[in-house]
Amino acid sequence: MKKIVLPLLFAAFCLFATFSAQSTEAKEKNQCVECHQSINDGSIVQKEYNDYKKSNHAQKGVTCDKCHGGYADQKDKEIAHRGVRPANDRESLVHFQKIPSTCGKCHRAEEDAFISSKHFKKLSTSGKGPNCVTCHTPKKARILTSEVVRFLCRECHNKDSSYTSNKLTSIPADAQNTLTLFEKTTLNADWLGEYLSLATKTKDVSSQQKQYQDLKRKVKRAKVDWHHFKIYDTQVTLRELLHEAEDIKESIK
């Protein structure tokens, strides 16, 4: 009797183990992504997925439901789509006026800065201000470079624009300069980091290490503060940070 029971128990255990593994796997799988990745009909819906799949968001597990709502644990399309509304529906989480708060669930600091800007004011009144995805695109979570920013801002900041009344036509070039400063600051901070880690081997640079960490925090802060769109203030801050990086480096010699 014992001889039969033991293998049976063992078999039952294996069966249980596979079942529970399967069910946790099914739970972990995001059904929005699972189903959408297999759509292959050349539609806009497929294109959205293709844009998404290479993004930093996709890599970090920011799945469709985080921005669109719905039920990500449901395999059935109709049930999964409950609460998912097309972008032109005012109640949709991705309606253009709702986008800042949808992104702000995870990017709270950027949202807070953005809400104080003229851009947000225009967005929430006439609808003519940019929202997060005007600049970052809905799917790629694009990081803007000094080269592309000029063209982007020019879409509304040009002398024939029906969007802006003040015709601040220098904005595109000024934005490009600001982002160039961002790029320089980031690069110099990175260099400083390398320099410090080499110096650590021969000197005590602990106070400079602290200053360097502080500098990195300030650069991050500036990227958030940029979303007030007080671009001349941002330029002043970045020039100060460039000096700070220089001073830290000098103090090591």
- Ranges within 39-58 binding ligand HEC (CB under 6 A): 39, 45, 48-49, 52, 56-57
Q: Which is nearer to ligand HEC, 99 or 205 (CB)?
A: 99
Applying CB under 6 A, does 109 fall inside the site for ligand HEC?
no
Q: Which stretch binds ligand HEC (CB under 6 A): 15-23, 27-35, 188-196, 203-211?
A: 27-35
x/- contact string, 153-172, with ligand HEC (CB under 6 A)? x-xxx-----xxxx----x-
3-state SS of the chain is: CHHHHHHHHHHHHHHHHHHHHHHHHHHHCCHHHHHHCCCCCCCHHHHHHHHHHCCHHHHCCCCHHHHHCCCCCCCCHHHHCCCCCCCCCCCCCCCCCCHHHHHHCCCHHHHHHHHCCHHHHHHHCCCCCCCHHHHHCCCCCCCCCHHHHHHHHHCCCCCCCCCCCCCCCCHHHHHHHHHHHHHHHHHHHHHHHHHHHHHCCCCCCHHHHHHHHHHHHHHHHHHHHHHHCCHHHHHHHHHHHHHHHHHHHHHHC
Q: Which stretch binds ligand HEC (CB under 6 A): 2-10, 12-20, 21-29, 69-77?
A: 69-77
Among 2, 4, 40, 86, the residue binding ligand HEC under the rule CB under 6 A is 86
- Ranges within 195-234 binding ligand HEC (CB under 6 A): 223, 226-227, 229, 231
Among 181, 182, 215, 218, the residue binding ligand HEC under the rule CB under 6 A is 182
Q: Which stretch binds ligand HEC (CB under 6 A): 2-10, 14-22, 71-79, 208-216?
A: 71-79
Q: Which is nearer to ligand HEC, 172 or 248 (CB)?
A: 172
